[in-house]
Amino acid sequence: MDGVDAVLADLSTAVPRLVAQASLPMPAKLKREFLSLNDVGSNELTRASLAANELVRLYAQACEHLLARSGMKATQITAIGAHGQTVRHDPANGYTLQLNAPALLAELTRIAVIADFRTRDVAAGGQGAPLVPGFHAAAFHCGHPRAVLNLGGIANITLLRPGHDVRGFDTGPANVLLDLWSQRHSGQPYDSQGRWAASGKPIPRLLDALVHNEPWFLLPPPKSTGRDLFNEKWLNERLEPFTPLQPKANDVQATLQSLTVTTIAKALHDWAPETEDVLVCGGGTQNTSLMRELADALPCPVAATSDAGIPTQMVEALAFAWLAWAHEHGHAAGLPSVTGARHPTLLGCKYPA
Ligand SMILES: Nc1ncnc2c1ncn2[C@@H]1O[C@H](COP(=O)(O)OP(=O)(O)O)[C@@H](O)[C@H]1O
Ligand SMILES: [Mg+2]
């Protein structure tokens, strides 16, 4: 919810080539509306439709930047892969919902749009998430067991092992709780470079309570999660018993950072102890303190995806360009080994130019 990341990619070669990139911040008002739409509220249908249209106007603007920066014309672009904004994710009950307006995006850009990437996998009994492991496998496979870790609002991990099916799952919160706590205490949308967390010390008993009072962490993969679970209510309920102890706010921030790191380290330890290196992407890579704690906690080298040729902030956008490419080529990118679906599925739905 921090912004729109867009890439123009050439996928005609074995290794995807980044042609241009653009990022637009999410206007504060729209971000507030999406946050509010994540929860039960009044007049949700109208508000969701209007917010989706507004989001897509940002998408169209990002596409204009990409065309201007690359010197290309709309008619030269095969398709736009547009994910939309997730406001509900509950695959156990058979649904996941991304607000999007693909017809409007096709109308504004005159480029074909491929959208709605998650629902077919959910319909086939899968988690509908994470969807990026197929792309991670294409872009980052190597001769040894490797993990690719995305630190967005939620953390998801892809496990690559030569000769084996790709696996992947969400590990829990990456930045979502750090952002919430930072906003509450400093008014800042995030703890820049984790400086505030670094000024505090994790509270062991609180960390223990956060990790052990959440059954979701104990579930085996396939699994996925979102703000439906890890939100303000979740945090408040778990902090409540600690309020009499008056924990310092920066110590709580340090504890939340440790929660992110601990749950990632445990997932790797439990499900891929053979991992020889970890490549990290997503906004969390900008959080120096988080990255330092992660490198200390993991038993193998940790590097940014930029070291493997793709800027950390552009991996997700490139993954959705790749998913659009997969749709165009009839390539089933919904992977049962990741999502637990009954069979591979062709992801997305096309809105012609
Ligand atoms: N300079 C920074 N310092 C600390 N955290 C940052 C910084 N830049 C980005 N982030 C974190 O990255 C998040 C956005 O990451 P992103 O990969 O875009 O996630 P999502 O896919 O959920 O939008 C922000 O909410 C913030 O927590
Ligand atoms: Mg983002």
Single out the residue of 263, 271, 274 nearest to residue 299, CA to CA.
274
In the reported structure, the alpha carbon of residue 316 is separated from the centroid of ligand 2 by a whole-number distance in angstroms of: 9
Is-contact 347 117, C-beta < 8 A? yes
| Predicted TM-score (pTM) of this structure | 0.97
Residues 120 and 216 in one domain: no
Can you tell me the distance from the alpha carbon of 196 to that of 98, in angstroms, rounded to the nearest whole number?
A: 32
Check pLDDT > 90 for residue 276. yes
Looking at the CA of 253, which ligand is closest?
1
Q: How many CA atoms lie within 13 A of 180 on its CB side?
A: 18
Residue 145 vs residues 28, 142, 217, 276, 332: alpha-carbon distances, Å:
41, 8, 23, 6, 24
pLDDT, residue 307, reads 96
Residues 71 and 187 in one domain: no
pLDDT in tens, 17-75: 999 999 999 999 999 999 999 999 999 999 999 999 999 999 999 999 999 999 999 99
Task: Report the atom number in ligand 1 closest to the C-alpha of 5.
Answer: 18
Single out the residue of 27, 21, 102 nearest to residue 63, CA to CA.
21
Residues 159 and 98 in one domain: no
Q: Is the CB of 287 under 6 A from ligand 1?
A: yes
User: Token pair of 299, please?
Assistant: 């038993």
Residues, CB within 5 angstroms of ligand 2 (ion): 2
Q: Quote the mean pLDDT of the chain.
A: 97
Check pLDDT > 90 for residue 13. no
- The number of folded domains in the chain is 2
Residues 78 and 225 in one domain: no
Residues 195 and 298 in one domain: yes
Check pLDDT > 90 for residue 15. no
**261: containing domain:** 133-313
Q: Is the CB of 284 under 6 A from ligand 1?
A: yes
Provide the residue type at 155 as one letter.
A
Q: Is the CB of 116 under 6 A from ligand 1?
A: no
Percentage of the chain beyond pLDDT 70 is 100
Residues 100 and 163 in one domain: no
Residues 111 and 211 in one domain: no
User: Token pair of 46, please?
Assistant: 């109208």
Residues 108 and 138 in one domain: no
**Burial class, 154, CB count within 10 angstroms (exposed 0-12 / middle 13-18 / buried 19+):** buried
Is-contact 94 120, C-beta < 8 A? no
Residues 195 and 295 in one domain: yes
Residues 228 and 164 in one domain: yes
Residues 176 and 106 in one domain: no
Check pLDDT > 90 for residue 14. no
Is-contact 131 146, C-beta < 8 A? no
Check pLDDT > 90 for residue 318. yes
Can you tell me the distance from the alpha carbon of 258 to that of 261, in angstroms, rounded to the nearest whole number?
A: 5
In the reported structure, the alpha carbon of residue 60 is separated from the centroid of ligand 1 by a whole-number distance in angstroms of: 22
| CATH code of the domain containing 69 | 3.30.420.40
Q: Is the CB of 173 under 6 A from ligand 1?
A: no
pLDDT, residue 16, reads 86
For residue 304, the cross-strand partners are: 280
Residues 214 and 87 in one domain: no
> Which is more confident, 14 or 44?
44
Task: Report the atom number in ligand 1 closest to the C-alpha of 282.
Answer: 17
pLDDT, residue 61, reads 98
Closest Cα to atom 18 of ligand 1: 283
pLDDT, residue 178, reads 98
Check pLDDT > 90 for residue 275. yes
